[in-house]
Amino acid sequence: MRLLRQVSLVLVITFAIVMISSLVKNSNKNIKSWSMIMLVISMIQYFYLKWQMEIIPESAFFGAPTVNPTVYWAINVAIVMLMLMISSHFIAKKPEGATIANYGVKASVKTVLTAFVTAVLAIGVGYGLLYIIDAVFKTDFRLWTFAVKTFEWHHVIALLKYAPLFFIYYFIAGISVNMNTTGEKYEGFKGYIVSILHFVGGLVLYLIYQYGLLFTTGVAGYPAESLSSIIVIGLVPVLAVAVYSIDSFIEKQGMSMLQPS
């Protein structure tokens, strides 16, 4: 974690130098805007890494010790993705005429509410059927790392606490998929594979390193992260399905998650 903070600090200093230089030399407007935004985001990342235990503490409010590290990881990954997207926008895409609307971000309130209500209804109907099946057949659904089960009200409360934090990750991830893996170059099966690797490639490399050393030497790459590594195994198929769903929605909506208003 210390190494990540050091890298983040280097980024803060680098973007500060670039911003000051662009202002002194009166550089291109895109360079000025890019350096300012990146400086702010890199500072946010630095303090997020520094104060992680205070921001997402294991407490009565965030009471899931196995979920907290995942939330921490997800938000940090979202920050990195946001930095890469902003850099791509100002350096490569904006000079070609790209705007925020091209990334499927701009939408009317009606569109957002419609999407939200549709999602809530889909979840409600799905879990309604699950409760009926549980009541009649006393069973639930499990497949590999997936377990779809009934739950108590305290689980719903926990979901409401963590959902906004995970939303940050999935929202930025969705924009990233829309921005980087759509178009004629990524049509069909190739686009899905690239999108999935875009998100789970790093996790797969981590698992290869972690368990490759475990099987060859008897000691894992990160011995203290045994439980977290098990969670990562479950994340790989979950993220693959999530990215496939995002890509499918983008394709059905004409290369945009949300149609510009």
156: exposed, middle or buried (Cβ count in 10 Å: 0-12, 13-18, 19+): exposed
User: Higher-confidence residue: 43 or 197?
Assistant: 43
What pLDDT, on the 0 to 100 scale, is given for residue 257?
Answer: 43
User: Higher-confidence residue: 39 or 115?
Assistant: 39
Question: In angstroms, how far apart are the furthest CA atoms of the chain?
Answer: 73
Radius of gyration over every alpha carbon of the chain, rounded to an integer in angstroms: 21
Residue 19 · residue 39 · CB < 8 Å: yes
* Cα dihedral 75, 249, 197, 40 sign: negative
Pick the most confident of 106-120, 121-135, 234-248.
121-135
What pLDDT, on the 0 to 100 scale, is given for residue 254?
Answer: 57
What pLDDT, on the 0 to 100 scale, is given for residue 110?
Answer: 84
In the chain, where the domains are located: 51-252
Mean pLDDT of 246-257: 63
The pLDDT tens digits for 173-227 are 878 877 777 666 767 777 788 888 877 888 888 899 999 999 999 988 888 878 7
- Mean pLDDT of the residues in the chain: 82
SS3 154: helix
What pLDDT, on the 0 to 100 scale, is given for residue 88?
Answer: 85
What pLDDT, on the 0 to 100 scale, is given for residue 149?
Answer: 80
172 pLDDT band, cuts 50/70/90, is confident
Nearest alpha-carbon partner for 82 in 48, 116, 119: 48
pLDDT of 256 strictly over 60: no
The pLDDT tens digits for 212-234 are 999 999 988 888 878 778 888 88
What pLDDT, on the 0 to 100 scale, is given for residue 1?
Answer: 56
What pLDDT, on the 0 to 100 scale, is given for residue 121?
Answer: 93
What pLDDT, on the 0 to 100 scale, is given for residue 253?
Answer: 62
**What is the percent of the chain with per-residue pLDDT over 70, rounded to a whole number?**
90
pLDDT of 259 strictly over 90: no
